[in-house]
Every structure is written in C-alpha cells, then in structure tokens.
Amino acid sequence: MLEMLCAIVCRLFFFTGAVRDEGSYPKPLSKEEEERCLSLARGGDANARDKLIRHNMRLVAHVVKKYTGAAETDDMISVGSIGLIKAIDTYEPSRGTRLATYTARCIENEILMFIRAGKKHKSTLSLSDPVGTDKDGNELTLMDLLFEKEDKVFGSVEQSLMQEKFLAAVKRLLNERETVIICLRYALTGGAPLPQREVARRLKISRSYVSRIEKRALEKLRAGLEREDFFAD
C-alpha cells in the first residue's frame, strides 16, 4: 500500500510542523524543479513523485488550519494527505491550473467530504462510504483511496522493499507499544487501518492515551528517519 506509506510520511512532517513552525516543512520547489519532477513522475519515476509530495506537504497544514475544531486535527491531516497524494497523481499541466492551486483544492475537497461524512455518521467514517469520484467519473470510497489491489502494489519489487524498509525502521526506532499502535493505525502489517477508538478498545487503554502515544511515535519516527537520511532523494 504505497499510498498509505506516503500518507504516513506526510503525517511525520505535518505533526511536527504543526507543533513547531512552518520552517519544519520542506520548502516549495522552484518552478523549474517542479516541472522537471512532474515530467519524471508522469513517466513513472517514484522518487520524483515522492519529492513532489514532500515539498507540497505544507499545503495540508495550511488547509487543515481553516477547519480547526470541525474534526480531530490528526484525522484531518490523514485525510488531507490522501488528497495531496491524489492531486500529485492526477494533475494535468495541460489544463492550465497551477499545481499548488489544484493540490489545495483536492486537499480541501477530501477534508470537507470527511467532515460532512463525520456529521452524517456521528463522527464515524465508514471505509465503504462514497467520498468522491475518480477522473473517469467512477465512485470512490475511502477504502479505494487507502488500498490498491495487491497485484498492482506488489508487482513492483522496489515498492515492496520500500514498505519492508519502512516497517523495519518503525520497529527499530519505536518501543513495543508505539510500534503496535502505529502498525494498527496504518495497517503496516496487513488488514485495514484502524481508528484510534478501535485501537484503544483492542489494547484496553483510553483513546486519548492512544492519541498521545501516536503523536509521540510519529515525532520519534520523523526525527529518526531524518537522522538516517531515509527521505534522501
């Protein structure tokens, strides 16, 4: 689940940036470098795609701030990061819209759909609920956005190795409880990602305690992975 991995990486930057300052975010790319990465990404270059995602991450934090109080910030960051990934994957320069404008719109759409669904279902978002349509007009659910078919994901050895490398880093940098919570929240070892309340139920601890551990774990991961140069281009 490459998109899910990218979403986790996004959150590593979003959380620490939110509690510090915007200088914590990667700076936006120059126009020339952005165009170069877009061209490479359209040709299937995963590193160029990931670079575009990383250097547009501050847009998620910017949009989330507009909806403070409408839903849990952590959840809006997760959903907004999915909107960011979708934007990078579907952006078409030929349509005349700037990447930042298109990306901000996609992020905001994802967050608004999440907030509306939360109000409709008393703050419970089902993975099978419709959350939009793809570029061909087909209905998409949150499940569609979080998961790709196994043969598509694991058909790439490089992607599989990256996921294994990331999971190994999680186990190396976090303690046992932090590892369990991150794996359950982001389905790093299979299955579906679980909301904090379900993780809390399984571990027999409070949801607020799960939230605190998750935030601390994400910050530790970010610091450790940057120290190890895990995100190097």
Question: 12-16, 58-62, 100-104, 203-207: lowest mean pLDDT where?
Answer: 12-16
What pLDDT is attached to residue 180? 94
What's the CA gap between 194 and 196, in Å, rounded? 6
Residue 31 burial (10 A CB sphere; 0-12, 13-18, 19+) = exposed
Cα torsion angle, 156, 141, 90, 24, sign = negative
Please give the Cα distance from 55 to 41 (Å, whole number): 14
The whole-number pLDDT of residue 36 equals: 93
pLDDT in tens, 164-208: 777 888 899 999 999 999 989 888 887 788 888 999 999 999 999
Reported pTM? 0.49
In angstroms, what CA-CA distances link 228 with 5, 7, 147, 183, 222? 17, 20, 28, 21, 10
Residue 79 pLDDT > 50, yes or no? yes
Tell me the C-alpha distance between 174 and 21, whole Å.
24
**How sure is the predictor about 136, in pLDDT bands with cuts at 50, 70 and 90?**
low
What are 14's two structure tokens? 């979003």
Q: pLDDT, tens digit, for every residue of 20-46? A: 444 566 788 888 999 999 999 988 888
pLDDT at 155 over 80: no
User: What's the full length of the chain, in residues?
Assistant: 233
**What's the pLDDT band for 6 if we cut at 50, 70, 90?**
low
Coil, helix or strand for 140? strand
Candidates 123, 129, 13, 110; CA nearest to 63 is: 110
Tokens coding 108: 């905001």
- Residue 8 has what pLDDT? 60
Tell me what percent of the chain is helix, strand and coil, each rounded to the nearest 5: 70, 5, 25
Closest CA to 14 of 56, 61, 59, 52: 61
